Structure 1
Amino acid sequence: MKRTVNAILLALLLLPISSGSAPGMEEKPRPQGSKIGDDLLRRMIGQMVMVGFVGNKQRDGGFQTVAQQAGKGRLTGVLYLGRNIRTLDGVKAMNEALQAAAGGLPLLVAVDQEGGRIERLTKAVGFREMPSAASVAQSMTPQEAQATYKLMAMQLAGLGINLNLGPVVDLNTNPNNPIIGRLGRSFSADGEKATEYGRAFVKGHRQAGVLTALKHFPGHGSSVGDTHKEVVDVSETWKESELVPYEQLIDSGDADIVMSAHVINRNIPGAESTPASMSPATLVGLLRKKLRFKGVIISDDLQMGAIAGTMGFDDTVLHAVMAGNDILVFANDKHPDPTIPDRVSDLLVVEAHENPALMIRIQESYGRVVRLKSKIEPNPMSR
């Protein structure tokens, strides 16, 4: 018999923290002098790692690898790309197998399904075709948009996908932006309107039991470059109004997750020339302290050119964690590396025992991720 998520979490709470069992949900880190065994620490670190994989069937080697890693507690979730989707039935079967392998805390099963040109699940495989964010804001009321997004989210939930990496709440301040404006990914250049339709996206998904992630913090809409390919600096084009959707959606409780961008933004005090995803000034100083966001921060893909082209693997992981990211995403797109969960775990276990601040960061992230996962309910379409 399947246990509900709440029952699993309650069981975790009741386990003694000194044992090898998973720790409780409290977000407060333990004192720096307290000891955490390596097995327990690896499970905590595992809740910070999301990877893409190669394969579109259960028998594929790439899928079997992530299923095994999920069973060992090395993953918090997986990210679906177009290459993973051959049939909808196949996606559903893989997700059922992944959750069964995970056993305890549910996996986050994520996808970029924004609508328009950013869709991993397409009409060709039988998924509902969705308009772009720009088209939605131009042709629908917020109420109509919410109903439309609910239908999409219900189909995601029916496949076992519980996290949609959207909405894009970047403002369309540069219509020629190669990765936002030109692709119709932004709802509007106006912060209030982007907030309104971003909220419709979030609420529609919540009605179907699917989590969402606001992106790309602190704003990617003004850029003239693409962080998938290169370092991008928005310092001369970014405006403070780009924070409006984040501020309002956080204040109204409509922010499950916020995704950090790889853009450089020197307008943020202390950020200097550090990408936002690697900047404590941006993620802690601005997002946590000023905007009062208490939820999960997830990185954009750490294998994108803006990061991988400038930093080695170890530095990327350490900087991303210390900057404040709770979940590190490795899409494994161009150069798949199935060993990433173990590499992250091996690195952070050693470093955390030497660096009390890193140990505390891991505990903080674990607490936030567990709290987020407590919101995941059984597939509403199976009730």
Structure 2
Amino acid sequence: MIMIGFAHDSASAKQHRQLVKLISDGRVGGVMYLKYNVKSQNDVARMNKDFSTANSALAPLIAIDQEGGVVERLTSAVGFKEIPRARDVALNMDKDSAKALYTDLAKRMRKLGFNTNFGPVVDLIINKNNPIIAKYGRSFSSRADITAKFATSFIDGHHQHGMITALKHFPGHGSSAADSHLGFVDISQSWVEAEYEPFETLIKAGKADMVMAGHLFHKGYVRDGEGQVPASLSPVALTTVLRQGMGFNGVIISDDMEMGAITKHFGFEDAIVRAVNAGNDILLFSNTVKPSLGLPDRILAVLEAEAQRDPAFAAKIKASYKRIVALKNRLQ
């Protein structure tokens, strides 16, 4: 249930051996790359080989944000061929040429040892002045059908090379007027029902491996007495709407739990407990606030203490474990 980022960029680093041991001991279930982890393709391949073989019982998810355009961790600076942003793909390609593009991307990522790509973005361009989605062309379209079509090309291309994908950012970041990396984002007045549609379409088609929960507040997700919680910490959003309403039985992964929308409003322990109770299976920590490989044990301590205190919480952990194992078994 724990996926973390890390600070090193070489398999010879002392921290690398420590992280590999955490995976081997079953204390970390996945790792996430940021751009500063990528020194060269050879270094990445060496690190990923160690990660992937560290735990023979249950391989880790080795994840990266490689959407295309501005959101790419593997870049031409290290000799990796970059691809266009989603908006340009939708404007200039058909679904077959898009699938070929994403199939080739997945092949090259898999060759380096990655097995998970945090994409496709299925947010809609509702607010053309959106500072984090529309501004960078990260969304395919303002239309749900076009977005779902090109997201399918993305997913199918990745599946062809055994890569896991993640629909993001539920319930939709495309109407927001702010960036949830920085702080609290309220979409109550701007969000529209159509933003659900790409998620629903892809879930019904069996294309959704994971859904990433966005740190987006909507007053419709708030229960009496609960206060303002973003969708990523809301049982209404993730359990009632996504699981029960849309029938999604796969893995829900939180967006980075160290983003401002979480850290500025919730304490460490509180955020973790709320995230699991809401329905998240994997807790993603970029490990950038105070980088430390002691972070997983801090998270585990919270999970274990709450599981001992609350049988319902323990049951949620067991259910998450089953979903994560089912997903990882597809990697074997």
Q: TM class by shorter-chain length?
A: over 0.9
Which whole-Å deviations, capped at 9, do the CAs of 1:76-98 have from their partners, x for residues lacking one?
11000011101111111101111
Aligned length: 330
- Kept in 1, the 8 Å contact 2:99–2:154? The answer is yes
Counterpart position of 1:116: 69
Counterpart position of 1:49: 2
Cα separation, partners in 2 of 1:186 and 1:272, compared to 1, 3 Å: farther
- Kept in 2, the 8 Å contact 1:265–1:272? The answer is no
- Kept in 1, the 8 Å contact 2:217–2:230? The answer is yes
Partner SS state of residue 9, structure 2? coil
What aligned pairs does 1:3-82 form with structure 2 within 5 A after superposition?
A: 48-82=1-35
1-structure distance, mates of 2:312, 2:218: 25
Which residue, out of 189, 192, 204, partners 2:142? 189
Counterpart position of 1:87: 40
Which residue, out of 329, 338, 346, partners 2:293? 338
Counterpart position of 2:86: 133
Q: For CA contacts below 8 A with separation 6 or more, give which structure has more relative contact order.
A: 1
Alignment RMSD, CA only? Answer: 1.1
Counterpart position of 1:4: none
List alignment gaps of at least 5 residues for structure 2: none
Partner SS state of residue 253, structure 1? coil
2-structure distance, mates of 1:71, 1:207: 28
Q: Where does structure 1 differ by over 6 angstroms across 4 or more consecutive aligned residues? A: none
Counterpart position of 1:315: 270
2-structure distance, mates of 1:354, 1:84: 38
State whether structure 2 residue 261 is matched by structure 1 residue 306: yes
Percent identity over the alignment is 44
TM-score normalised over the length of structure 1? 0.84
List alignment gaps of at least 5 residues for structure 1: 1-47, 378-383
- Kept in 2, the 8 Å contact 1:134–1:184? The answer is yes
Which whole-Å deviations, capped at 9, do the CAs of 1:110-154 have from their partners, x for residues lacking one?
000000000000011111210000000000001110110000000
Counterpart position of 1:365: 320
Counterpart position of 1:30: none
Partner SS state of residue 232, structure 1? coil
Q: CA deviation at 1:99?
A: 1.9
- Kept in 1, the 8 Å contact 2:222–2:234? The answer is no
TM-score normalised over the length of structure 2? 0.97
Bigger CA radius of gyration: 1
Q: CA deviation at 1:272?
A: 6.7
Which residue, out of 194, 209, 219, partners 2:162? 209
Counterpart position of 2:250: 295
Q: CA deviation at 1:213?
A: 0.1
Counterpart position of 2:284: 329
Q: CA deviation at 1:273?
A: 2.6
- Kept in 1, the 8 Å contact 2:221–2:234? The answer is no
Cα separation, partners in 2 of 1:355 and 1:269, compared to 1, 3 Å: closer
State whether structure 2 residue 219 is matched by structure 1 residue 263: no
Cα separation, partners in 2 of 1:269 and 1:52, compared to 1, 3 Å: closer
Out of 219-228 and 272-281, give the one that drifted further. 272-281
Counterpart position of 1:23: none
1-structure distance, mates of 2:294, 2:256: 16
Out of 92-101 and 79-88, give the one that drifted further. 92-101
Partner SS state of residue 280, structure 2? coil
What aligned pairs does 1:193-272 form with structure 2 within 5 A after superposition?
A: 193-268=146-221, 270=223
Counterpart position of 2:51: 98
Q: Which residue identity does 1:111 align to in structure 2?
A: I
Cα separation, partners in 2 of 1:84 and 1:322, compared to 1, 3 Å: same
- Kept in 1, the 8 Å contact 2:221–2:237? The answer is yes
Counterpart position of 1:22: none
Q: Which residue identity does 2:244 align to in structure 1?
A: K
- Kept in 2, the 8 Å contact 1:297–1:327? The answer is yes
